[in-house]
Amino acid sequence: MTHRTFILFFVLLLACLTTNAQYQPGPAPDGFDRPQVGLEHGKIDTIHYESKTVGKTRTALIYTPPGYLKTKKYPVLYLLHGIGGDEFEWLRNGRPEVIMDNLYANKKAEPMIIVLPNGRAMANDRATGNIMAPDKVQAFAHFEDDLIKDLIPYVQQHYSTYKDREHRAIAGLSMGGGQSLNFGLGNLNIFAWIGGFSSAPNTKQPTELIPNPTTTHKQLKLLWISCGTEDNLMPITSRTVDYLKENKIPHIFLKEPGGHDFKVWKNDLYHFSQLVFKDH
Ligand code: FER
């Protein structure tokens, strides 16, 4: 290799790496969230787990990918709902099973188990009455214990999963986005892949969220932050992203057209699910 070719090669390599670091996902292709005929489907189970945290049996939904085999091991994504939702919210409005079936038909995502929990950890976890009541909002924070001490162990006992941090992801929308950032960044020994979609005011202040940027940097596999440009909650996301930039913590920030709605969150899931559990 001549000196000039070497330099050219080096510059190209650098350009390639820089492009990767600035990876900016665009809108999902038409039909990504429409059921297609003639492809394999994943399966949705309803599970009931004993929650020592809440003192009750609680319900969650589990999507296993097409061709799920008990003889194989799978990574797990915990996907969380918003303040007006429950364990059915993603399924009703986000159709994650359709998005994932379509991605798998095109071999675009790692086969994974997706858990749809109820993130309001209290005896009555329905989204009824005043959903902004302090005890209900507090229950979203209390879910950290329910998730880590009760739900994750249940999932690992009853499904064929990997059990290390690098095979565990957490993401969610709005209140669930705040939960994902708080619980994920607060428990990097448990989660390596973290996504906050249109995160709500329950998101911790940046210095509390990431008190030690160097440690966080080392442990993170992916930190995804996204928000619609028309969303009133954008300041929460901007506050987090400013801190990430100041402290040079690698992340993907997607500012996308749209408001506080499922058009945005479906697009987020479409991208996030393709990024997790892969080497970049
Ligand atoms: C708030 C505004 C929005 C708030 C929560 C939300 C707890 C959550 C919105 C959602 O989950 O969609 O002030 O305070």
Model confidence over 152-209: pLDDT tens digits?
999 999 999 999 999 999 999 999 999 999 999 999 999 999 999 999 999 999 999 9
pLDDT of residue 3: 58
CA 62 – ligand 1 centroid, Å: 25
Ligand 1 atom, smallest distance to 132 CA: 7
Mean pLDDT (whole number) for 113-123 = 99
- Please, what is the Cα angle at 151 between 82 and 60, to 5 degrees? 55
**Quick one: pLDDT band at residue 7, thresholds 50, 70, 90?**
low
Mean pLDDT (whole number) for 141-148 = 99
CA 86 – ligand 1 centroid, Å: 14
d(CA 5, CA 59): 61
Among 80, 89, 175, 198, name the best residue to mutate to test ligand 1's pocket (greatest count of ligand atoms within 8 A of Cβ): 175
CA 202 – ligand 1 centroid, Å: 7
Nearest CA to ligand 1 atom 14: 201
Ligand 1, CB within 6 Å, residue ranges: 82-83, 137, 174-175, 200-202
Mean pLDDT (whole number) for 131-158 = 98
Ligand 1 atom, smallest distance to 83 CA: 11
pLDDT of residue 164: 98
Nearest CA to ligand 1 atom 3: 200
Nearest CA to ligand 1 atom 13: 201
Q: Are 114 and 62 in contact (CB under 8 A)?
A: yes
SS3 content of the chain, % helix, strand, coil (to 5): 40, 20, 40
d(CA 199, CA 170): 13
Which domains does the chain show, CATH number per domain? 43-275 (3.40.50.1820)
CA 87 – ligand 1 centroid, Å: 17
Q: Largest alpha-carbon pair distance within the chain? A: 73
In the predicted model, is pLDDT for residue 8 greater than 70?
Answer: no
In the predicted model, is pLDDT for residue 14 greater than 50?
Answer: no
CA 136 – ligand 1 centroid, Å: 11
d(CA 176, CA 141): 10
Average pLDDT, the chain: 94
CA 117 – ligand 1 centroid, Å: 18
**Quick one: pLDDT band at residue 51, thresholds 50, 70, 90?**
very high
pLDDT of residue 21: 47
d(CA 78, CA 170): 5
**Quick one: pLDDT band at residue 24, thresholds 50, 70, 90?**
low
List, in order, residues 6 or more apart from 252 with CB less than 8 Å away: 23, 24, 25, 222, 223, 224, 225, 226, 275
Distance from chain centroid for Cα 143: 16
Ligand 1 atom, smallest distance to 177 CA: 11
